[in-house]
C-alpha cells in the first residue's frame, strides 16, 4: 500500500510506517478484560470508516486517521495514544483460524462463486418469536445460511458483507436491560460476539442505517444488494430510508434475489476443516447415543423409551438439539420412512429401525441402524438385512472424487433386484428385466442419500440425491431420474459429506394399493410370499461418508451394526454407556 502525506506531517518513507487495516484497529480496541477503551472512536469507525477508502496509520504509538476521512471527525479523534506498538502487533492476526472462526473464509467463498467484484450481501438471521396467542417463545433455530456467513446463533441479528472491501459486519440487537435481564439474562455483547467469530466488525443494529447510507453514497449508482429471497427485501429497505421516510438508495441501485442462494449452496457443499471437525463431533455423540440404545433395548417396552434413551444420551453430552425427529420404528412401523410417532409397544415385534442423529453447533449427523429387539434374527429378517448390507458396502466402496452419485444409487437398485429375485420375492424375469422395469422402487422408494452439513438434508442438488425418481414416471424411471434438469449435480468432490442409506421395505400400502394394482409391476411381485415378510417391516442402514482426495472415509464406522450390534444386545460386550 502506498504511503500518503498526512495533514501537518512531512513526507515519510513507507518503511517508517506500519499499515493497519481498520478492521485490525477496531478488533484491538479492548483492554485485557474485554472492555472497549475508546467506545466513541469505535462507533465512528463503524459508522464512517467501514465504507470509505480511508485507511489508518500507526506510527510510534499513535493512531492517525487518514486525510480522506479526517474532515468528518471531531478534532479530538484524529490522534490518540495507544501505548507501545509491540502490544498492538501481538493482537493483530486475522490470517489464521486458530479458534475455528470461519466467517471471512465462508464469505469469500460465496463471493468467489457469485463471480462479482463488488456489491453487498445482506442476510437477516431468525428473529425471536412467540407462538400465536401466547407469550411462550418459539424454540430458536438459526437460519443456516446466516450461520454459515456469521458463526452466530443468537436471534435478531443481521450480517452484511461488502464484497469489494472484504468487510463482514455482524449487526446485533442492543443489550437487554431492566426486567428483560431479570427474566432472560443478558444478551451477548459485542465483545462476546467478537470472541466467537472473525467478522470484521460487530455493531449494534442502531448503526445499520448510517452504515448503509454511507455505503450507498460511496458506491453511487452501482450499489447492488444480494439477498436470498425477495421476502427479505423489506427488512433491508427499512434501513434504507431517512428519518423523513425518503429513500436513500441510489436510483439505479439493484436488488438481486437469484444469485446468492446458488452461490451459497455451491460454497456450503464442500466443507472446511473446521466444519468437518464439528460434524465429527456430532457423529461421536451420536455414536454414544446409539450404543446406549443397544445396551438397554432389551429393557424397553415401548418405542418411546428408545427415543428417550437416545435423546437423553445426547443431552448429557451438552447436545440438546436433534438434527431431525428421532425415528424409532418397530415392526411394520419400520416401513414408514419418516415414522416419528414412536409410541407403540415393542411386544411381538421383530426389528427396530432407529434413524437418529444429533446436531453439534449447528452441524448435523445422520445414522440409521436396524436390529432385532431380541438380539437374534429371524430367517426372513436376516435375509433382508444381508441384502441391504451388501447394497451399502458396495455403494460406499464406489464413493470417490468424480463419481456420479446417481450411478451409485442405480447400483444399489441392481443389488436389491438380485437379492429379492434370489429370495423369490421378485419373479418372472431376469434381474436385468426386473431392474429395467423399475419394480425395485416398490421396495426401495427413496434416494440412496443426501448431502449433510448445516442441514441434515443439506444444500446442493437435493433432488438428485434425496429422491429416488419422479413418482409419475415409473415406466421409464431410470431415464427420468437422469434427466431431472440439473447439470452434473451429483459428481462427488473432496470435502463433500454425504449419506449412504439403502433400504428394503415392505409397506402394505405401497405394495397392495399401488404396485400390485398395476399390471406392469404386479407380474413381477410374488404376492403370496409378501405375508412372510410384512412383519420384518423395513431395514435401513445409514452412514455418513466424507469424500476424500482419493476415496472416502466413513465418519460413523464405529457405530456398531450387524453382528457387532447383536453382541451388545445379547450382553456379550461390557456396557460403557452413561447410565
Domains of the chain: 14-91 (no CATH), 103-267 (3.40.350.10), 269-569 (3.90.230.10)
Phi, psi angle pair for 59, to nearest 5°: -145, 120
Alpha carbons 569 and 571: distance in angstroms, whole number: 5
The predicted pLDDT at position 489 comes to 54
Q: What is the reported pLDDT for 42?
A: 44
E-strand ranges in 287-411 read 327-330, 351-355, 359-360, 363-364, 368-372
Three-state SS at 537: coil
Q: What pLDDT score does 177 carry?
A: 87
Kind and range of the H or E element at 386?
helix 379-397
Helix (H, G, I), strand (E, B) or coil at 258: coil
Which residue stretches of the chain have pLDDT < 70? Answer: 1-100, 221, 244-246, 248, 250-253, 461-489, 575-579
Per-residue pLDDT, 39: 45
Give the single-character DSSP code of 49.
G
Distance CA 201, CA 207 (A): 12
Using alpha carbons only, what angle is made at residue 364 by residues 279 and 557, rounded to the nearest 5 degrees? 55
pLDDT in tens, 210-239: 898 888 888 876 789 999 998 888 888 887
Q: In what order do the strands lie in the sheet with 497-500?
A: 497-500, 543-547, 552-554
What global pTM score does this model have? 0.81
Interatomic CA distance for residues 169 and 33, integer angstroms: 23
Is 140:128 a contact under the CB 8 Å cutoff?
yes
Q: Which of 205, 228, 257 is nearest to 149 (CA)?
A: 228
Please say whether the beta carbons of 546 and 282 come within 8 A. Answer: no
Measured between alpha carbons, how far is residue 384 from residues 356, 374, 388, 559 in Å?
Answer: 21, 17, 6, 20
Give the residue ranges of DSSP H helices in 35-143. 39-47, 67-70, 85-91, 103-114
The rounded distance, in Å, linking the Cα atoms of 490 and 424 is 33
pLDDT at 503: 98
pLDDT given for residue 526 in this prediction: 98
Residues 6+ apart with CB under 8 A from 332: 506, 508, 534, 535, 537
d(C-alpha 538, C-alpha 508), whole Å: 11
- 58 in Cβ contact with 22 (< 8 Å): no
As to burial, measured by CB atoms within 10 angstroms (0-12 exposed, 13-18 middle, 19+ buried), residue 322 is: buried
Q: Which residue in 286, 324, 287, 281 sits closest to 458, CA to CA? A: 324
Cα separation of 352 and 126, whole Å? 36
pLDDT per residue as tens digits for the range 383-431: 999 999 999 999 999 999 999 999 999 999 999 999 999 999 999 999 9
Amino acid at each position: 500500500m502506498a504511503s500518503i502525506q498526512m495533514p501537518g506531517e512531512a513526507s515519510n518513507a513507507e518503511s517508517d510506517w506500519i499499515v493497519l487495516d481498520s478492521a485490525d484497529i477496531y478488533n484491538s480496541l479492548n483492554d485485557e478484560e474485554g472492555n472497549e477503551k475508546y467506545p466513541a472512536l469505535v462507533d465512528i469507525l463503524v459508522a464512517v470508516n467501514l465504507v470509505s477508502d480511508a485507511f489508518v496509520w500507526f506510527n510510534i504509538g499513535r493512531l492517525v486517521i487518514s486525510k480522506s476521512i479526517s474532515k468528518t471527525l471531531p478534532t479530538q479523534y484524529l490522534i490518540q495514544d495507544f501505548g507501545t506498538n509491540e502490544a498492538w502487533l501481538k493482537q493483530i492476526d486475522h490470517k489464521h483460524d486458530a479458534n475455528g472462526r470461519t466467517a471471512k473464509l465462508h464469505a469469500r467463498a460465496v463471493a468467489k462463486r457469485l463471480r462479482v467484484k463488488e456489491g453487498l450481501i445482506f442476510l437477516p438471521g431468525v428473529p425471536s418469536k412467540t407462538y400465536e396467542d401466547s407469550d411462550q417463545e418459539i424454540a430458536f433455530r438459526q437460519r443456516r445460511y446466516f450461520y454459515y456467513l456469521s458463526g452466530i446463533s443468537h436471534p435478531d441479528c443481521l450480517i452484511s458483507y461488502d464484497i469489494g472491501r472484504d468487510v463482514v459486519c455482524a449487526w446485533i440487537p442492543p443489550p437487554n436491560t431492566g426486567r428483560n435481564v431479570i427474566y432472560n439474562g443478558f444478551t451477548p455483547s459485542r465483545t462476546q460476539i467478537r470472541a466467537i467469530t472473525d467478522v470484521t466488525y460487530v455493531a449494534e443494529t442502531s448503526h445499520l442505517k448510517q452504515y448503509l447510507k454511507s455505503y450507498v453514497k460511496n458506491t453511487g449508482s452501482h450499489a447492488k444488494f444480494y439477498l436470498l429471497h425477495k421476502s427479505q427485501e423489506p427488512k433491508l429497505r427499512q434501513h434504507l430510508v431517512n428519518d423523513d421516510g425518503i429513500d436513500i438508495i441510489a436510483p439505479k441501485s439493484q436488488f438481486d434475489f437469484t444469485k446468492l442462494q446458488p452461490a451459497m449452496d455451491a460454497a456450503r457443499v464442500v466443507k472446511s476443516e473446521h466444519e468437518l471437525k464439528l460434524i465429527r463431533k456430532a457423529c461421536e455423540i451420536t455414536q454414544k447415543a446409539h450404543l446406549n440404545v443397544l445396551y438397554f433395548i432389551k429393557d424397553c417396552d415401548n418405542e418411546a423409551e428408545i427415543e428417550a434413551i437416545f435423546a437423553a444420551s445426547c443431552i448429557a453430552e451438552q447436545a440438546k438439539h436433534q438434527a431431525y425427529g428421532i425415528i424409532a420404528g418397530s415392526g411394520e412401523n419400520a416401513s414408514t420412512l419418516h415414522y416419528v410417532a414412536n409410541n407403540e409397544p415393542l411386544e411381538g415385534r421383530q426389528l427396530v429401525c432407529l434413524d437418529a442423529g444429533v446436531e453439534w453447533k449447528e452441524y448435523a449427523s445422520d445414522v440409521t441402524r436396524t436390529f432385532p429387539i431380541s438380539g437374534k434374527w429371524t430367517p426372513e429378517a436376516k435375509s433382508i438385512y444381508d441384502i441391504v448390507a451388501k447394497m451399502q458396502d458396495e455403494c460406499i466402496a464406489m464413493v470417490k472424487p468424480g463419481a456420479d452419485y446417481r450411478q451409485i444409487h442405480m447400483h444399489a437398485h441392481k443389488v436389491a433386484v438380485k437379492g429379492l429375485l434370489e429370495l423369490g420375492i421378485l419373479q418372472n424375469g431376469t434381474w436385468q428385466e426386473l431392474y429395467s422395469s423399475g419394480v425395485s422402487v416398490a421396495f426401495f422408494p427413496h434416494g440412496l442419500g443426501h448431502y449433510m452439513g448445516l442441514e441434515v438434508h443439506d444444500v446442493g442438488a437435493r433432488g438428485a440425491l434425496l429422491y429416488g425418481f419422479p413418482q409419475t414416471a415409473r415406466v421409464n424411471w431410470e431415464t427420468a431420474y437422469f434427466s431431472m434438469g440439473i447439470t452434473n449435480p451429483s459428481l462427488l468432490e473432496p470435502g463433500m459429506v454425504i449419506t449412504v442409506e439403502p433400504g428394503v421395505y415392505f409397506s402394505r400400502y405401497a405394495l397392495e394399493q399401488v404396485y400390485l394394482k398395476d399390471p406392469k409391476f404386479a407380474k413381477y411381485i410374488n404376492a403370496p410370499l409378501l405375508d412372510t415378510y410384512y412383519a420384518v417391516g423395513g431395514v435401513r442402514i445409514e452412514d455418513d461418508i466424507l469424500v476424500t482426495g482419493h476415496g472416502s472415509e466413513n465418519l460413523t464406522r464405529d457405530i456398531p451394526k450387524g453382528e457387532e450390534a447383536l453382541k451388545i444386545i445379547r450382553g456379550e460386550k461390557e456396557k460403557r454407556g452413561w447410565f
